[in-house]
Amino acid sequence: MSRVASYSAAVVAMVVAAPAQAALPADPLGSPMWQRLGKSLFGDAPVRFDPRVRVIFPDIAENQRQFPVAIDARGIVGVKRILLFADLNPIPLAVDYTLGAAQPYFSTRIKLDQRTPVRGAVQLADGSWLVSGGWIDAAGGGCSLPPISRVKGDWAQHLGEVRGVARRVAGATRVRLAFRHPMDTGLIGNIPTYNLEEVVLTGAEGRRFGDLRIEASVAEDPEFALIVDALPGEEIAMAGRDTNGIDYAARLMPTTVAAPR
């Protein structure tokens, strides 16, 4: 099945399964997918476009297989969940982040399949969603796109490796995590879907900082940045799992030591 066909089938299945719902607002980005995608992601909940959801990304996609996107909703009180999605990707949703003791900031790198809106949506305590985003042209990097063969093929030797840092800045703790993982989408050749699917961050006595549900549209060797409300001296534990049932575990002790110059 082509990727377009499989994608359409998935969307149709989602739409058919959805109950009757309130009308979504008109899309300021004019995306052909907005109505169908919005219904599948937000269901009956009220949705508004709100520029305080800052969706930040570079002007060009220098590498369309690793396009960095940040969602910064720290100007909004009471955010409990953040979605990152790209309407015209074969797998639109990239990450569904449920916040615990954390600030509404999130970043990762996603794959881009074509020119597409890239969006962030944040859910408030009353269940409503605030959405923002912009278009990105996946062909932007043009001549410097690395050839396909450049993609790392040595993930099997490095599976389970996690690099990271947690740094206390102005009372909050910035957590940066980088995994080795192929993040296969199931859309290329005969390679089945294989992706990191969950990452949970906890503090002392299991206190939840956040829970990431991750799709294969996140880039190979996935990276995440979050800002958590760790207490002074509180260690951060990461527990993750991929779609083959492999577990990932890491620990980070936040530091305030000045960076080497």
Partner 1 sequence: MIDRRAVLAILAAGVAAPLHAVPLRYTIDPQPVAPDLWVVRGVDAPIDHANGGAIANISILRTAAGTVLVDCGPSLRYGQQLKAAAEALTGMPVIRVYLTHLHPDHIYGAAAFDRSIVAATPALARSLETLGPSFSDGMYRLLGDWMRGTEFAAPGKVLGEDHETFGDRRLDLYPLAGHSEADLAIVDATTGMLIAGDLVFHDRAPSTPHADIARWLASLDRLGTIGHRAVIPGHGPIDPTPGAAIDQTRDWLSWLRDTLDRAVAEGLDAVEAGNLAIPDRFAALQAARYELQRSVAHFFSRIEEQALPRVDLRR
Give the closest residue to 104 by CA, choosing from 53, 166, 68. 53
Q: Is residue 209 near partner 1 by the rule CB under 8 A? A: no
- Among positive and negative, which fits the CA dihedral 116, 89, 179, 166? positive
Measured between alpha carbons, how far is 50 from 32 in angstroms, rounded to an integer? 20
Return the residue of 31, 40, 107, 202 that touches partner 1, per CB under 8 A: 107
Smallest separation, CB 41 to partner 1 (Å):
22
In whole angstroms, how far apart are CA 229 and each of 24, 78, 198, 254? Answer: 34, 14, 20, 11
| 35-64 positions binding partner 1, by CB under 8 A | 56-60, 62-63
Return the residue of 10, 18, 45, 165 that touches partner 1, per CB under 8 A: 165
Q: Which CB sits closer to partner 1, 100 or 141?
A: 141
Smallest separation, CB 222 to partner 1 (Å):
11
Q: Is residue 151 near partner 1 by the rule CB under 8 A? A: no
Give the closest residue to 147 by CA, choosing from 73, 63, 224, 74. 63
Return the residue of 164, 172, 229, 241 that touches partner 1, per CB under 8 A: 164
> Could you please report the per-residue DSSP string of 8-27?
HHHHHHHHHHSPP-PPPPPP
Smallest separation, CB 87 to partner 1 (Å):
20
The site string for partner 1 over 121-150 (x = CB under 8 A, - otherwise) reads ------------------x-xxxxx-x---
Measured between alpha carbons, how far is 145 from 131 in angstroms, rounded to an integer? 30
Smallest separation, CB 108 to partner 1 (Å):
8
Return the residue of 73, 84, 166, 201 that touches partner 1, per CB under 8 A: 166
Q: Is residue 68 near partner 1 by the rule CB under 8 A? A: yes
CA trace torsion 98, 121, 142, 188 (10° rounding)? 60
Smallest separation, CB 144 to partner 1 (Å):
4
96 phi/psi in degrees, rounded to 5? -120, 110
| 222-251 positions binding partner 1, by CB under 8 A | 223, 225, 238, 248-251
Q: Is residue 161 near partner 1 by the rule CB under 8 A? A: yes
SS (H, E, C) 93-154: EEEEEEECCEEEEEEEEECCCCCEEEEEEEEECCCCEEEEEEEECCCCCHHHCCCHHHCCCC
Which positions lie near partner 1, rule CB under 8 A? 56-60, 62-63, 66, 68-70, 107, 109, 139, 141-145, 147, 160-167, 169, 174-178, 221, 223, 225, 238, 248-252, 259-261
